[in-house]
Amino acid sequence: MNFSCLRINFYVLVMILINTSCDLSENLTGQPTIDKFFQTKEDFDSYIKGAYSPLIELYGSDIPYVAGSGADDVFTPVIRWKGFEHIDINSVGNPDEITEMLWNSYYKSISSCNTLINIINESSNESISKEDLSLINAEARFLRAFNYFQLVRWFGEVPLLTEDNQNNASKEKQSTVERIYEYIVSDLKIAETNLSDMTSDSSRPNIWTAKSLLAKVYLAMAGFPLNKKQYNVLAKDKAYEIIKAEVYSLEKNFSQLWIWDNRKSNSEFIFTLYASSDNGLGSYLHQAVRPVDGGENGWGDWTGDKLFLQTFENGDKRIAGSFYLRTSDGTSWENTNIAQPYVGKYRDAGPKSGGYAGISIANKADGFFCLIRYSEILLVYAEAANLAEGNPSEKAYESINKVRERAGLKKISELTTIQFDEAVLNERKYEFAFEGKRWFDLCRRHILKETMIDYYDDIDIDDHNYLLPKPNSQLSIMTGISQNPGYN
């Protein structure tokens, strides 16, 4: 994985400033102006698709998975990344290698969304209906909310750049976590009201996608650092709207979720990013999770953790889908050079990746990355309902047990509020292994230290460890921000 940090920084800053500081009535070569480019619905649609590109590149790389490797599901043998895994980022020589691409990818996407929203606000083109413009505006707001939801959980206080202030990006001060969440909710409320209700394409948001993200946001707001417990009620109610609508359902076979041929036809994916190597947006994650040896010729950048594997219940069918425990030449994971269980979820990235069981023929392939699944909505409801109502209801049991039954596990029953809460968090741990959710669960529930003490006896964790350091390069470019406490 090679990229030029300086080039990306320069590109991001220039794009943020250029895209919004120009007068949209001017005919400046290379600039997206109303009179020059945005003439049809297809023009707007083409532009909003570009806002997904930085995210496809990001989730098709090592970056977000290494950033969250401090959770108990991920192991990395890469020495220079060990500080992320050991929750000791001050020991990392160049944390910007990870944090910079996170920061830049989300802000690139935000910049495109802001530009589009601004153009829609100023558009007087009568050839495009108000309904079409409202739909595009809603999609841009959904995507902007998604990006800020990631940024605020990774970095805490960040600049809240919108269509109104983006021309002052380099000087804009960072906003409070609470203010950022308020803005996320505001955008998502507009999105859930104005998006289409069509569910045939999980790569583009619909009203149910917006409601799903809003339920996740409410659940996060109920936890650390805001600790606004009343949001458990909102999370419960919003998740139930999706469940009650019955527009999504669990696939019968968990392991089939991760097969490339099923990526666009299953009933469970709510929001998914699809890489395309033919269009310059190929992903390399299939190589990153493959073993170096065992006839695989992968990179072995990160794997599952053997201690994590040992905690799965006997008979849990998710082991087969989540892990890849025997390499192409028949070698057991214990006998590979890393001797850690490999990740199965991202192996199949289409023909170029060699499929699930074959040998990759290209470093860039066509991976897919589901960021919201229906099983998550069921577990959001179960968790929020139990915490909001003070005890696990029949509907809460039904939601978690649907997930457990699919995994081949027994139903749970007759638990106390605390026991049920622990059961839901554990279910999330196994259901979403390696999907980038475990780190955020440990953070929002403020249980990082007590969870990871089993992995590191001498671990020293305080509240500063719940956030990443902001990229040092951005501290010199964006003068309104300051480094998170506790970082060098």
Q: What is the DSSP track for 444-477?
A: HTT-HHHHHTTT-TT----GGGGSPPPPHHHHHH
Which whole number is the average pLDDT over 334-339? 96
Rounded distance, CA 416 to CA 481, Å?
44
Cβ within 8 Å of residue 442, ≥6 positions away = 71, 72, 448, 451, 452
Residue 153 or residue 4, greater confidence: 153
CATH of residue 60: 1.25.40
Which of 187, 216, 246 is at the close of a domain?
187
Specify whether 152 is located in the same domain as 16: yes
Quote the mean pLDDT of the chain. Answer: 91
Position 136 in a domain:
yes
Position 68 in a domain:
yes
Residue 259 pLDDT more than 60?
yes
Residue 1 pLDDT more than 50?
no
Taken in order 342, 344, 345, 350, the sign of the CA dihedral is positive
What does the pLDDT look like over 344-355, one tens digit per residue?
A: 999 999 999 999
Specify whether 160 is located in the same domain as 292: no
Eight-state DSSP code of residue 330: S
Residue 102 pLDDT more than 80?
yes
Residue 10 pLDDT more than 50?
no
* Domain of residue 147, residue span: 1-169+182-187
Specify whether 139 is located in the same domain as 286: no
Which whole number is the average pLDDT over 300-324? 97
Position 298 in a domain:
yes
Angle at which helices 41-50 and 96-122 cross, to 10°: 160
Radius of gyration of the chain (CA): 22
Contact 22, 34 (CB under 8 A): no
Position 308 in a domain:
yes
Position 267 in a domain:
no
pLDDT value, residue 80: 97
Position 429 in a domain:
no
Number of domains in the chain: 2
Give, rounded to a whole angstrom, the gap between the first and last alpha carbons of the chain.
25
pLDDT value, residue 41: 86
pLDDT value, residue 459: 81
Rounded distance, CA 220 to CA 98, Å?
23
Question: Residue 33's pLDDT band (boundaries 50, 70, 90)?
Answer: low
Which of 312, 332, 366 is at the close of a domain?
366
Which of 366, 387, 403 is at the close of a domain?
366
Question: Residue 32's pLDDT band (boundaries 50, 70, 90)?
Answer: low
pLDDT value, residue 353: 96
Residue 13 pLDDT more than 60?
no
Position 328 in a domain:
yes
Residue 37 or residue 304, greater confidence: 304
Tell me how far apart the 2 most distant CA atoms of the chain are, in Å.
68
Specify whether 2 is located in the same domain as 151: yes
Tokens of residue 39, six digits: 């003439």
